[in-house]
């Protein structure tokens, strides 16, 4: 068994290009599709205020996590609004402001509320400064009041059974990683079918290598290659792109084990039911794409409302793989909370592997 794995590794080192290309495509798809759709809303600002006043106002405005303000000329702002490049523009004055927009939108309402809050603070501060000549003291009190407010507010997030959290970035990374690893594993499992058809296994059984060792060696190598690919993708995004796994990165690496095992078993079963290599090559994309769509790899399963599609999707290993990965990251679940998807994946692996080996042996491919 060890000799089989060593031989496979040597062959991989000689020709790793297919594996690298598949990994690169996976990263590419995950990056562009899973790239966070969130970005700050650009708001052009024009004003007759002095450069110093405008700089101070922009500093306060750009503390927002939603909007990005930039000082431009009046004509540039109007051109951007008229051409539809921005939703709204801001005309800043000393005591008030105006929004210029072509159509009302929710973002414009949020923008108006946010700028109004900034101006309220500005007016309050100006009012305090007008009451005394000790501007340094007022500035100190103002800074202290904002650093340590009189009333403490604690914000907490709660979820019920109906609420869902969707992270577009992690959705793309998880979905396409779990999808593309099917092809990597299938490419390695197909060697079992090729070797059996070429009667290589018949010659090897004459030697000291038993049939179960050949199965375990080939399947274990397929598992290691698939697991290595997904881990490589996750590490690249975590440490190369700085993607936030919400403190669950280590758990995701462990949760990949039952998923990859189930995919190895799935490919083994497909190989057993395939009479020819071309048939196997046709079944793999058919099953992989179908299971990916049903399992929520291409889009969040949370947005699917059809009970029929949700019921059919329960046959997909990707559904439970995505559920486990999202649970470990977005929801902060522990392994105890994730026992259900893990158990289902392991059950799928055992059932499909048993069916695959039995069918392949009975057919004597």
Confidence of residue 243 (pLDDT cuts 50, 70, 90): confident
In percent, how much of the chain has pLDDT > 90?
Answer: 4
Task: Give, for 88, the enclosing helix (H) or strand (E).
Answer: strand 88-92
Q: What is the pLDDT of residue 137?
A: 59
Confidence of residue 336 (pLDDT cuts 50, 70, 90): confident
CA dihedral 159, 163, 169, 175 (to 10 degrees): 120
Least confident of 99-103, 195-199, 320-324: 195-199
Closest CA to 222 of 260, 279, 257: 260
Q: What is the pLDDT of residue 155?
A: 47
Q: What is the pLDDT of residue 177?
A: 84
The residue that leads in pLDDT, 202 or 233, is 233
In percent, how much of the chain has pLDDT > 70?
Answer: 76
Confidence of residue 328 (pLDDT cuts 50, 70, 90): confident
The residue count of the chain comes to: 365
Q: What is the pLDDT of residue 201?
A: 61
Residue 321: how many CA atoms within 13 Å on its side-chain side? 32
* Full 3-state SS string of 100-153: EECCCCHHHHHHHHHHHHHHHHHHHHHHHHHCCCCHHHHHHHHHHHHHCCCCCC
CA distance linking residue 270 with residue 73, whole number of Å: 64
pLDDT tens digits, residue range 68-120?
888 888 888 888 888 878 878 888 887 788 888 776 766 777 788 888 888 88
Q: List, as own/partner pairs, every contact residues 231-236 make where C-beta atoms lie below 8 angstroms and the sequence separation is at least 24, other chains included.
A: 231/256, 232/23, 233/23, 233/26, 233/27, 233/30, 233/173, 233/177, 234/173, 234/177, 236/27
Which residue has 């060696």 as its token pair?
217
Contacts of 122 (CB under 8 A, 6+ apart): 57, 60
- Judge residue 222's burial from the number of C-beta atoms within 10 Å of its C-beta, 0-12 exposed, 13-18 middle, 19 or more buried: buried
- Kindly state the average pLDDT of the residues 340-345: 90
Q: What is the pLDDT of residue 347?
A: 93
Residue 305: how many other CB atoms lie within 10 Å: 7
Closest CA to 246 of 325, 175, 177: 325
The residue that leads in pLDDT, 291 or 18, is 291
CA distance linking residue 271 with residue 244, whole number of Å: 38
Residue 63: how many other CB atoms lie within 10 Å: 10
Q: What is the pLDDT of residue 306?
A: 79
Give the mean pLDDT of the chain. Answer: 77
CA distance linking residue 76 with residue 38, whole number of Å: 25
pLDDT tens digits, residue range 271-297?
888 877 888 888 888 888 888 888 887
Alpha helix ranges (H) inside the chain? 2-14, 17-34, 51-61, 74-82, 106-130, 135-147, 168-197, 200-206, 211-235, 249-273, 277-295, 307-312, 317-329, 339-363
CA distance linking residue 24 with residue 29, whole number of Å: 9
Please report, for residues 4, 48, 97, 180, 276, the alpha-carbon distance to residue 271 in angstroms, rounded to integers and kept in the order given. Answer: 19, 73, 69, 18, 9
Return the structure tokens found at 8. Answer: 């496979």
pLDDT tens digits, residue range 29-78?
776 665 544 456 788 888 888 888 888 888 888 887 678 888 888 888 88
Q: What is the pLDDT of residue 180?
A: 84
Confidence of residue 343 (pLDDT cuts 50, 70, 90): very high
Confidence of residue 207 (pLDDT cuts 50, 70, 90): low
Q: List, as own/partner pairs, every contact residues 247-256 make where C-beta atoms lie below 8 angstroms and the sequence separation is at least 24, other chains included.
A: 247/329, 247/332, 248/328, 248/329, 248/332, 249/329, 251/328, 251/329, 251/335, 252/325, 252/328, 252/329, 254/335, 255/321, 255/324, 255/325, 255/328, 255/338, 255/342, 256/227, 256/230, 256/231, 256/321, 256/325
Which residue has 């929520």 as its token pair?
296
pLDDT tens digits, residue range 132-189?
665 565 556 555 555 555 455 554 444 444 445 566 777 778 888 888 888 888 888 8
CA distance linking residue 51 with residue 48, whole number of Å: 9
């Amino acid at each position: 068994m060890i000799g089989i794995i060593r031989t496979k590794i040597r062959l991989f080192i000689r020709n790793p290009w297919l594996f690298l290309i598949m990994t690169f495509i996976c990263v590419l798809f995950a990056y562009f599709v899973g790239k966070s759709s969130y970005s700050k809303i650009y708001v052009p600002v024009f004003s007759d205020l002095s450069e110093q006043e405008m700089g101070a106002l922009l500093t306060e405005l750009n503390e927002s996590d939603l909007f990005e303000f930039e000082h431009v000329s009046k004509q540039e702002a109007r051109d951007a609004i008229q051409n539809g490049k921005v939703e709204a523009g801001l005309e800043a004055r000393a005591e008030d402001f105006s929004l210029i927009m072509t159509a009302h939108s929710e973002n414009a309402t949020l923008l108006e509320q946010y700028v109004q809050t900034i101006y309220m603070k500005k007016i309050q501060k100006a009012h305090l400064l007008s009451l005394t000549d000790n501007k340094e003291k007022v500035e100190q009190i103002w800074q202290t009041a904002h650093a340590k407010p009189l009333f403490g507010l604690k914000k907490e997030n709660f979820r019920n059974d109906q609420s869902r959290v969707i992270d577009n970035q992690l959705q793309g990374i998880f979905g396409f990683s779990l999808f593309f690893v099917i092809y990597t594993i299938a490419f390695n499992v197909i060697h079992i079918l090729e070797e059996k058809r070429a009667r290589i296994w018949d010659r090897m059984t004459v030697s000291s290598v038993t049939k179960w060792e050949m199965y375990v060696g080939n399947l274990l190598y397929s598992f290691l290659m698939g697991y290595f690919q997904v881990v490589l993708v996750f590490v690249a995004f975590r440490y190369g792109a700085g993607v936030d796994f919400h403190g669950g990165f280590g758990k995701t690496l462990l949760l990949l084990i039952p998923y990859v095992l189930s995919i190895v078993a799935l490919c083994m079963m497909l190989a057993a039911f395939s009479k020819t290599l071309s048939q196997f090559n046709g079944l793999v994309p058919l099953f992989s794409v179908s299971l990916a769509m049903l399992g929520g790899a291409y889009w969040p399963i949370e947005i699917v409302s059809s009970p029929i599609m949700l019921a059919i999707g329960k046959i997909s290993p990707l559904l439970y793989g995505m559920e486990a990965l999202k649970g470990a990251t977005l929801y902060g679940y522990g392994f105890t909370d994730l026992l259900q998807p893990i158990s289902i994946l392991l059950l799928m692996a055992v059932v499909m592997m048993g069916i695959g080996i039995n069918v392949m042996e009975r057919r004597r491919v």
